[in-house]
Structure 1
């Protein structure tokens, strides 16, 4: 029976962000990419809503002994879930995770209807601006032109900024891998080292010439780091 691997995308992310990981690991792992309900209307704290969604998803699919991988906001959700349910998570992988510090301009970003501005902001996510393909920019632009989605994006971002995970990280015993871009301008390298300091059982891999989404920008190096971690931490 294949071990379950859950991939959690970021605020503007989607299922396609994990294409390289899926291609590399789908033959050996039971991979799940739940679409986080960022745009849902609800009365809960936004981040709690996402964690509750993940809890329900895992229960409904009868998953256990999880490999939980999260990018940016998805990493934040993964941290909170693992803190609540350490017995459910076998391994935790964080890449560009929020929870300690994020440098973003989401307060103004979603309000802009200028396509070139959106392209600049998407390119800011990566070390190599060419990674911001027309398809990716179009997807984000479409989202930012929807007033209701914009409002919920801003609220979600503010919820994440309020939710500082520093105090709970020492309480997470899970074997953890941090994969970080050396040129991450949104969650800078200092943030990765702070996670490493707070988490009791963590290791860090820094990827050169890489920004906020290593699994998209350097998928081969990301997969190599993940592969090595999974092999070394077996059992």
Structure 2
């Protein structure tokens, strides 16, 4: 079947994918082996822009807006329904090769669950700063953020969100980037945020992860407080074919904080 977007160039093309009666929006750029990028809950698809520009020199890069973000319609039914919507959107792209799914944070959980529920959807997985399940303190953090945002709005937890994205020293050194990300976070639809917090607080994929048959690269920033390195280590240990990489000096969004370092860590894996 021919590729849906054979002429997407280095500057990219914004597309709207029809998924049943709903829509998923994306930006497509570059050419080559396809890589689908799935963003974090606290950072929209633009958090992949620096990495996408680098990857597009060798790959076809698809930056999906997860359901409830950008022009992608939200979906009821928890993280399973989000994963199913992502799988449908990938099929709608009519790619000539099975893609690499690369997810960061919330997008990593979505990528993992998509591969579990749709085993033939991806050739490989790159899972950055996620895991198979949160500890009880991690679960409570999502409940607390959701409760505070319900009572006072997303602005009340913006500082907490930025701390979960970046270590304090990085925030001090890059105030403009932090303010840009704060504005992006405040644009998240509250219902999308609350639904994702509830889903992540309840998530436990540890029994299902050993069934993932494709190769997986598991990465995590050594300073990640949102999904600490021990979560990623546990995930890698449960997967039958996984490699674990710790990214020095990075926190929850290493592809945004250090795109060249992140690219160096994944380039060999995504080229296969």
TM-score class, shorter:
0.7 to 0.9
SS of 1:101's equivalent in the other structure is: coil
Alignment of 1:25-174 (within 5 A): 25-38=55-68, 40=73, 42=75, 44-63=76-95, 64-101=97-134, 103=138, 104=141, 105-111=144-150, 112-113=152-153, 115=155, 118-127=158-167, 128-130=170-172, 131=174, 132-143=177-188, 149-174=189-214
SS of 2:220's equivalent in the other structure is: strand
Output the aligned Cα RMSD: 2.2
Distance 1:56 1:179 in 2: 26
Q: What does residue 41 of structure 2 align with?
A: 11
> 2:252 aligned with 1:220, yes or no?
no
Corresponding residue pairs, total: 226
Distance 1:87 1:34 in 2: 19
Q: TM-score, normalised on structure 1?
A: 0.87
Contact 1:15 1:33 in 2 (8 A): yes
TM-superposition CA deviations, 1:177-214 (whole Å, max 9, x none)? 01111111011111011011100100011011211111
Contact 1:5 1:32 in 2 (8 A): yes
Contact 1:8 1:36 in 2 (8 A): yes
Moved over 6 A (4+): none
Q: What does residue 146 of structure 1 align with?
A: none
CA 1:79–1:116 in structure 2 vs 1: closer, same or farther (change >3 Å)?
closer
Distance 1:62 1:114 in 2: 37
- Structure with more contact order per residue of length (Cα contacts < 8 Å, sep ≥ 6): 1
How far the C-alpha of 1:150 sits from its partner, in A, is 1.7
Q: What does residue 22 of structure 1 align with?
A: 52
How far the C-alpha of 1:87 sits from its partner, in A, is 2.6
Q: TM-score, normalised on structure 2?
A: 0.76
Mark the runs of 5 or more structure 2 residues left unpaired by the alignment. 1-30
CA 1:189–1:139 in structure 2 vs 1: closer, same or farther (change >3 Å)?
same
Distance 1:94 1:212 in 2: 12
